[in-house]
Amino acid sequence: MTTNASPIDTKAVNVIKGLIMDTVRASNSGHPGGAMSSADYAYVLFKEFLSFDPKDAKWFNRDRFVLSAGHESALLYALLTLQGNLGVEDLKAFRQFGSKTPGHPEHDMTDGVEATTGPLGQGFAMAGGMAVAEAFLREYLDAESAGHFTYVLVSDGDVQEPICLGSAALFGQWGLGRLIAYYDSNKIQLAGPTCRVDNIDHKALFESMRWQVIEIDGHDHEQIRKAILAGQAETSKPTLIIGHTTMAKGCATLEGSESTHGSPLPEAEIKATKIKLGLPDEEFHLPDDVLDTFRSRFAALRNGRQAWDKALAAKLADSAFAAKWENATTPACQRSLNWPEFESGAGVATRKAFGACLGAMMEQLPTLMGGSADLDPSNQTVKFRETVGIFNATTNALGRNLCFGVREFPMGAILNGLALHGGIVPFGATFLVFSDYERNAIRMSALQHLPVLHVFTHDSFFVGEDGPTHQPIEHVSSLRLIPNLLVLRPADARESAACMAVALKQKSRPSVLIFTRQGLPVLELPQPLEEHVGKGAYVVRDPEGAAPEMLLLASGSEVHLAVEAAEACSELKIRVVSVPSMELFDEQSAEYREAVMPRSITRRVAIEAGRTDLWYKYVGLDGKVWGINHFGASAPAGVLKEKYGFTTANLIKFIRE
């Protein structure tokens, strides 16, 4: 049982376990076992250490707590009920439609939930992203205004996911001394004991990655306190507290059983367990003395917030601090930036246009942070890195370049953590073909409504000699399938700048920006270009002196081919439409969509160097799409261009046929 705890703390933990059992039982689904094994640590952390404002869950300088083990949501909801963010009625509505207590925590649904978690390992990575943001802002502003801790609770399942260990290597490398992770090592997962699949010495492993590691009895309150204090005291390394616990601790007969991991406890087991824990035979028992004990720090916490407000008000009288505060608290969507100019007719790869745009952004957005997954020269992030410096919390906390290494999935999740923390404009870059590695983090960006910039270069078979393993075919279409994700594939350098501007205007959705390896001609495009791009599709060329009789639709590197083909086939009276974003175009009014793609024009052709499927919603079943539905090959890009028919001559032939 709980050890080294006062009688009231023991009672409080047992009450939390009762709420966990009743919450999961009420919905007839959920995960009680891990929530019960983590209860002692979470109770001590929330009651004695976590800094927050009881009346304002969004206070800028609060400590962050992330439940990476999202399946233990019943534990977090019980704590938030004691905290006052939820009520017992919310617990009774666990996992029900529209409730504040979904099956896995969702940050935009429930006050006190810092991140949407569930896919294991990502909460850990997001917590590290929050710690990066805190370290930068603490140095950029000051420790009093933006100095707090980030706590994350992880499970056996979390540490088995490669994203967790890949992220952990970065967090040790970056010296995130205010990141404290608690690993609830109950040695049970859904299918059985972890020894069947994992015999890692996590203490040795994390120490090798520059972490402070402390092993404790996770049910001993005094050991928990000492470990948290040691984590707070270590300023140059993140801390991993390994709490050795028992699955479903306190259960009458099912302690240590995997059957408690993913299923409600039987009613007879709940009844017997409540007797064992000294709880009355009633559902959702929450006595006043437990609430009073849990909230004993609330007056001090409120006073701390008031003192912070007063200190901040005084600092804002200083114009230099006020400017920094504005930079840290004004969302990018509320800013207007100046973008580079590009010469008509010049050959510019859109990835190089992105590099130029990144150079403009880094000067105008002092809280822009990000980097590349070990592709700095290819992704055009070298100048950014060399100008703003490499981030390290202990040696260069004002460095804004994050060196992710070959870790696309951790990169995406860390960017989400930066965005969730607030105060940072996050971006990350890699090759488009590796979006598959990063995909679930991108999906979590969209699910959480986070305006993250996910940058991808080398967007088609024009990658060339690296061959089919590096040549994206289905990736643009695949990304377009993710709800609430804005996919932008610009036609040239000018459209690239406009796409960047549109992406930065997004308040509640991430953007995927897709750029070419190969050079493209800078086109004469209609103005105001940002406004046109913001509508997703717009007319680039109409036949001279005549109404259009055919539509030629294209995105990205294929737009200039479409323009050249239309000019060569003047007798066909072709309108060329650039479609940088299907999502934005589909959101426009019926009148605008009709104006750009009139239904009366039934002869339609689309061209894109990727999967053809999604284009049929615009060209119709009788229309034609020139694309590529097979893997590429290893050869120079010019050879592949001819082999796969992405030439003006072939497009002219295709259109006329």
Q: Which residues are annotated binding-site positions?
A: 31, 71, 118-120, 156-157, 186, 188, 261, 351, 378, 434, 458, 466, 470, 517
Choose, from 72, 106, 269, 408, the residue flagged as catalytic.
408
Q: Are the C-beta atoms of 371 and 543 separated by less than 8 Å?
A: no
- Residue 630 makes CB contacts below 8 A (sequence gap 6+) with 473
- Residue numbers belonging to the annotated binding site for thiamine diphosphate: 71, 118-120, 157, 186, 261, 434
Bridge partners of residue 539, in order along the sequence: 577
Residue 401 has phi, psi (to 5 degrees) of -90, 125
From first CA to last CA, the distance across the chain in angstroms is 79
Cβ atoms of 618 and 604 within 8 Å: the answer is yes
Report the candidate in 79, 85, 81, 88 with the shortest Cα–Cα distance to residue 22: 88
Helices 7-27 and 73-83: angle between axes, nearest 10 degrees: 120
Hey, which residues does 369 pair with through a beta bridge? 426
Q: Which residues are annotated as a binding site for Mg(2+)?
A: 156, 186, 188
Angle separating helix axes 559-568 and 648-656, nearest 10 degrees:
60
Give me the sign of the Cα torsion angle 301, 302, 307, 309: positive
How many residues appear in the chain? 657
Residue type, 207: E
Active site residue 408: yes
Cβ proximity of 338 and 481 under 8 Å: no
Query: Using an 8 Å Cβ cutoff, are 41 and 75 in contact?
Result: no
Question: Is 446 within 8 Å of 509 (Cβ atoms)?
Answer: yes
- Between strands 188-189 and 192-193, the pairing is antiparallel
CA distance 246 to 260: 11
Residue pair 492/356 in contact by the 8 Å Cβ criterion: no
Q: Residues annotated in the binding site for substrate, as ranges?
A: 31, 261, 351, 378, 458, 466, 470, 517
Q: Angle, to 10 degrees, between the axis of helix 162-173 and the axis of helix 408-421?
A: 70
Q: Are 10 and 220 in contact (CB under 8 A)?
A: no
Nearest to 441 by CA among 411, 421, 477: 411
Cα–Cα separations (whole angstroms), residue 269 to 39, 71, 229, 275: 18, 20, 36, 10
In 3D, which of 2, 36, 4 has the Cα closest to residue 18?
Answer: 36
Joined tokens for residue 609 = 């160097």
Listing DSSP states for 340-389 in one string gives ----TT-EEEHHHHHHHHHHHHHHH-TTEEEEESS-HHHHT-HHHHHHH-
- Where helices occur in 209-316 by DSSP H, the ranges are 221-233, 267-277, 288-294, 298-315
Return the bridge partners of 181, or none: 152, 240
User: Catalytic positions, please?
Assistant: 408
